[in-house]
Amino acid sequence: MTDASSPLVTTGIAVVTGANSGIGRATAIHLAAQGFVVYGTVRSLDKAAKLGVMAEHAGVEVRLVELDVASDSSVAAGFARILAETHGVVDVLVNNAGVGGNSVVEECPPQMYLDIMNINLCGAVRCQQQVLPGMRKRGRGTIVNITSLVGRLAALAQSPYVTSKWALEGLSEELAQEVAPFGIRVAIIEPGITKSAIFAKNVDAPNQSGAYDVAYRRMFQMYAAGLAHATDPFEVGKVVHHAITTDQPKLRYAVSWGAKELIDGRAAMTDEQWVALGAIADDEDYYAEFADKFGLDINDLP
């Protein structure tokens, strides 16, 4: 065993899942630019054309591996190829692959929870289990789990997504203690609203009863405000690189629009204040209270 607080290498072999777009693509390219040998996993090589173009423009290489984090066999096959090429060495795993999901609890089919958890939580578990034995034997390595600000704050009308990210936060916190004796670092990256295709795809409002118009409206209002000021995904990539290489590591890193304000604001509220916020009937009163509690004016759109 090694001292878990010892600095890790500043370059090595990194695997980034969900590398075809958004945060994953930016992180893969940024790590490659910092000297890492980067494997980027994608569900389909046909969808990675933009990654190839951006990597070429940056003067770096991202080695593509077709891999679906929702499948045991696909993850095993993808990592078998990676580990064969790297002689069993992966220094850094960035679990980024994930999907969104809008629904209120009353109207969310249980299967939707299972499908999203299978990707956002179990997908990370599958990949971690592929690299942890080698990291443990070598006494070094870093696992980076990309969660979300909604892993710390239960945002409205996104119950399956929120649930999956809270689960990944809990798993990451436990994992950090489990692997600390082996010199393995765990970092949780909690992005706020970042320029990414996930938001363009996340527009469903399955309000079958019509009873939850308010919840969906306020959820979309927050994201509209965030998208108007969305953070470049390369900023998240820089935070990932810092988390990997710093000699003063933290467990959690909030980054991108709204993340710190919303996480800190929720931590400063009592549970009773949080519930009372949801009970406000008038939208204007709700937005005013939201601004007071979180320091974000989501009612002021460009």
Percent of the chain with pLDDT over 90: 90
286 assigned to active site: no
pLDDT on residue 100: 94
Res. 209: pLDDT tops 90: no
Our CA angle for 191, 159, 302, nearest 5°, is 50
Report pLDDT digits (tens) over 4-18.
444 455 789 999 999
pLDDT on residue 5: 46
> HSE-up of 281 (CA within 13 Å, CB side)?
0
End-to-end Cα separation, the chain, in angstroms:
54
The pTM score is: 0.94
Q: Is residue 280 in a domain?
A: no
pLDDT on residue 200: 56
Q: What average pLDDT score do residues 175-198 get?
A: 94
Q: What average pLDDT score do residues 181-188 get?
A: 98
Q: Is residue 163 in a domain?
A: yes
Q: Is residue 27 in a domain?
A: yes
Report pLDDT digits (tens) over 250-288.
999 999 999 999 999 999 999 999 999 999 999 999 999
> HSE-up of 188 (CA within 13 Å, CB side)?
23
Q: Is residue 296 in a domain?
A: no
Q: Active site residue: 161, 216, 253, 287, which one?
A: 161
Q: Is residue 48 in a domain?
A: yes
Secondary-structure breakdown of the chain: helix, strand, coil percentages, each rounded to the nearest 5: 55, 15, 30
Report pLDDT digits (tens) over 87-137.
999 999 999 999 999 999 999 999 999 999 999 999 999 999 999 999 999
pLDDT on residue 181: 98
Are 1 and 183 within 8 A, CB to CB? yes
Q: Is residue 281 in a domain?
A: no
Q: How far apart, in whole angstroms, are the C-alpha atoms of residue 29 and residue 40?
A: 9
Q: Identify the bridge partners of residue 190 per DSSP, sorted by sequence position.
A: 254
- pLDDT band of residue 208 (cuts 50, 70, 90) is confident
> HSE-up of 193 (CA within 13 Å, CB side)?
22
Res. 1: pLDDT tops 60: no
Res. 221: pLDDT tops 90: yes
Q: Is residue 254 in a domain?
A: yes
CATH of the domain at 55: 3.40.50.720
pLDDT on residue 11: 84
Res. 246: pLDDT tops 60: yes
AA letter at 92: V
pLDDT on residue 6: 42
Q: Please tell me the total count of domains within the chain.
A: 1
Q: What average pLDDT score do residues 170-186 get?
A: 98
Q: Is residue 132 in a domain?
A: yes
Q: What average pLDDT score do residues 295-301 get?
A: 91
Q: What average pLDDT score do residues 218-232 get?
A: 94
Domain that holds residue 64: 13-220+230-268
- Angle at which helix 22-33 crosses helix 233-245, to 10 degrees, equals 50
- pLDDT band of residue 196 (cuts 50, 70, 90) is confident
